[in-house]
Amino acid sequence: QVTLKESGPALVKPTQTLTLTCTFSGFSLSAPGMRVSWIRQPPGKALEWLARIDWNDDKFYSTSLKTRLTISKDTSKNQVVLTMTNMDPVDTGTYYCARIRGSDDYWGQGTLVTVSS
C-alpha cells in the first residue's frame, strides 16, 4: 500500500526558509521509474506544481520558482525533502507531496503552511 505524508512547520516568518519532508511507504525511490513531486495550493486557489525528484536523482523545478527551491531524497529513510527560501505571505497554502506517473497517482493529505510575522 502506497502512502505519503507531509511534515514541517505550520508557521514560518517572512524571509525564512521552509523545509518540508515527505515520508512515504509502499515503494522505494531507488526503484527505476519512481519519482516524487511537490505541489502546493494557496487557500481557495489553484494547484501549482513545484518540483520533482526521480529515482536516478534527476531533479526538475517550476520555472517560476526554481531559484528558491531545492529537492532532495534520502532513500534509506524513504523521505523526500523540499526547501523553499525567502518565504513570503503569498507562499501560504497547503503543500502536497505525490507520486505521479500516468495512472500511478498517490497524494499525501497535505500540510498547511502559513507565512506570517
Partner 1 sequence: QSALTQPASVSGSPGQSIIISCTGSNSDVGGYNYISWYQQHPGTAPKLLIYNVSQRPSGVSDRFSGSKSGNTASLTISGLQAEDEADYYCSSLTNKNTRLFGGGTKVTVL
Q: Which amino acid is at 39?
A: I
Q: Does 82 bind partner 1 (CB under 8 A)?
A: no
- In the Cβ-directed half-sphere of 28, how many Cα atoms lie within 13 Å? 6
**Phi and psi, residue 16, nearest 5°:** -75, 165
- Mask of contacts with partner 1, 19-58, x by CB under 8 A? ------------------x-x-----xxxxx--x------
Question: Which residues, at least 6 apart from 41, have a Cβ–Cβ distance to it below 8 Å?
Answer: 47, 48, 93, 94, 96, 110
Q: Does 75 bind partner 1 (CB under 8 A)?
A: no
Of 64, 67, 76, 117, which one interacts with partner 1 (CB under 8 A)? 64
Contacts to partner 1 by CB under 8 A: 37, 39, 45-49, 52, 60-64, 96, 100, 102-103, 105, 107-110
